[in-house]
Amino acid sequence: MVGGGISGLLAARILADHFERVTLLERDTLPGQPDVRGKTPQAPHSHVLGSIGYRRITQLFPGLDEDLAEAGALRFDFFKDCRNYVGDWLPRFSSGLVSRMCTRMLLEFSIRRRLSEVANVVIRDRQRINQLLVRDDGSRVIGVQLDDGRQLHADLVVDAAGLGSRTSRLVSSLGFGEPEVEQVDLLSATATRLFHPPPGMSAPDWIALFVRATPQNRRVGALTRIEGGLWRVSVAGLAGLYPSKTEDGFLAFTRELASQEIYHLIRDAEPASPVHYYGTSFSRWIRYDKLARFPDGLVVVGDAAFHANPEHAQGMTFCLLAAETLGTMLAESERPLSERVGFSLQFQRRIAEKYRPYWVWNAAIELDLPGVVDGSGLSRRERWERVFYRHLRAVAPRDPALLRAALRVTQAESHPSALLHPAILLRLARRTLRA
């Protein structure tokens, strides 16, 4: 296992059920407490674990939910306990979709601590991979070589190295072809700062407050209540509008959001951190699934293959889906993995089937912004689907049932095709006619 982020941790837990020994290699120094690592510059910013991710991850790691609760991570319903501004405030109601609000640092640390309790899993930090070991005929990856020259042989190498993965170059150098890359760049950046709630202020009746971009305002903002009783405020501009890195500029940016609610809440609050800045704003999909051949003994998961723009809050959920798919495929046959020719390519194609509908769903949002760089690779049919999704999003804020259906897709609780159910289409048609 290469990479000790969320994707690597989840995949390692799944692999532990199928192999005698799982070794997780991370090039960072892993902290002994919830803290930012050098190779996770995105960690301080707003992270929201989706409902399906929360439910299944806490099932994978018994006791994890109690750990998060004890650390101060609040449990919330995505509509009842969240306020959403999209030009107007959306209605609040019980969606039945719940999670816990916390920092990426707390979640990763808590999962890693639970994973370290699994008997056949070994976690090693400060281990930099120099190259993959490949069989003489180039058809199979058989392990990794570390910077110090040591070689570790393995039945399966899982690349969970994130955006820094070098697998695409390796695959190309071995003669398997250069994988296509689909990418949509929002030309954006995120700035985040922590605050202490204003003295004497009673706890609000919400866990998160989201201000979305509108046709007239390309700024987005989020205030979330996290562990330690702190407020985490993240802001971003879209399509070439960038937030400021300065303290005064950060506050001024919140005042220019479509709603000034966040600004009014934090203008007299005491800062608890400097302004953190993160400049990655693209969605990227490396299409290993389209290759005619792919080396066995190697699979690519998480951001190393499919990176959803952080605005969609889907990254950790997709990491889980990839890990679960890997576990399902390993359980489908009792034959040794060395005898299952084509396993790796079959895996990349199977998770691509899961990714594709959400890629189109996300593009329905991203490609409506002027100035966005489009490398999405959408077919004509998928562009028609994008038009349908865009129309649904325009109508849904006035209908709780449509809102719930859209949220279930965003959370990966439902496949986007569920939105074509006759009941949804009828409801959408009625709302459209009324409008």
In the predicted structure, residue 47 carries a pLDDT above the cut 90: no
Statement to judge: residues 37 and 119 lie in one domain? yes
pLDDT band at 21 (very low <50, low <70, confident <90, very high): very high
The answer to whether residue 371 scores a pLDDT higher than 90 is no
In a domain, 58, yes or no: no
Rounded Cα gap, residues 435 and 427, in angstroms? 12
Residue 354 belongs to some domain of the structure? yes
Q: pLDDT category, 220, cuts 50, 70, 90?
A: very high
Name the residue among 160, 182, 190, 410 with its Cα closest to residue 310. 190
How far is residue 255's CA from residue 253's CA, in Å, rounded to a whole number? 5
Last residue of a domain, one of 278, 298, 325: 278
Percent residues over pLDDT 70 in the chain: 98
For the ranges 111-125, 158-172, 404-418, which has the lowest average pLDDT?
A: 404-418
Q: Of 328, 359, 390, which closes a domain?
A: 359
Nearest Cα to Cα of residue 158 among 291, 12, 31, 41: 12
Summarised one tens digit per residue, pLDDT across range 296-317 is 999 999 999 998 877 777 888 8
Going by their DSSP bridges, the two strands 282-287 and 306-307 should be labelled as antiparallel
Total structural domains within the chain: 3
174 lies in the same domain as 233: no
Question: What average pLDDT does this structure show over 202-206?
Answer: 91
Same domain, 215 and 288: no
**pLDDT on residue 100:** 97
- What six digits make up the tokens of 223? 């205030």
Q: Are residues 390 and 341 in the same domain?
A: no
Same domain assignment for residues 310 and 355: yes
Return the closest-CA partner of residue 152 out of 347, 340, 22.
22
Residue 216: what pLDDT?
Answer: 82
Residue 303 lies in a domain: yes
Query: Which of residues 331, 359, 387 is at a domain's end?
Result: 359
* Same domain for 354 and 386: no
DSSP-derived 3-state class of residue 138: coil
Write down the mean pLDDT value for the chain: 90
Query: pLDDT class for 239, splitting at 50, 70, 90?
Result: confident
Reported as a single tens digit per residue, the pLDDT across 272-281 is 999 999 887 8
> CATH no. for residue 334?
3.50.50.60
**Whether residues 31 and 118 fall in one domain:** yes
DSSP codes, 62-118: TTHHHHHHHTTPEEEETTTTEEEESSSBPP----S-EEEE--HHHHHHHHHHHHTTS
The pLDDT of residue 185:
84
pLDDT category, 414, cuts 50, 70, 90?
A: confident
Q: Is residue 274 part of a domain?
A: yes
Dist. CA 346–CA 182, nearest whole Å: 20
Domain annotation covers residue 41: yes
Same domain, yes or no: 263 and 343: no
- Within a domain: 62: no
Whether residues 334 and 414 fall in one domain = no
Residues in Cβ contact with 388 at an 8 Å cutoff, skipping those fewer than 6 apart: 419
Structure tokens at 379: 């077919």
User: Is 159 in the same domain as 203?
Assistant: no
Domain that holds residue 426: 379-434
Confidence at residue 364, expressed as pLDDT on a 0 to 100 scale: 75
Write the CA distances from 407 to 25, 209, 273, 311, 431, integer angstroms: 35, 16, 32, 14, 18
Note whether 10 and 148 are same-domain residues.
yes
Say if residue 75's pLDDT is above 80: yes
Closest CA to 310 of 234, 397, 227: 234
pLDDT band at 8; cut points 50, 70, 90: very high
> How large is the average pLDDT for residues 38-62?
88
Residue 409 lies in a domain: yes
Domain CATH number, residue 245: 3.30.70.2450
User: In whole angstroms, what is the distance from residue 313 CA to residue 283 CA?
Assistant: 12
Q: What is the pLDDT of residue 373?
A: 67
Name the least confident of 13-27, 34-48, 135-149. 34-48
380, pLDDT greater than 90? no
Least confident of 71-75, 83-87, 173-177, 185-189: 185-189
pTM of structure:
0.92
Residue 365 has pLDDT above 80, yes or no: no
Asked whether residue 262 is assigned to any structural domain, the reply reads yes
Residue 370 pLDDT: 65
The pLDDT score that the predictor gives to residue 398 is: 79
208 and 327 part of one domain: no
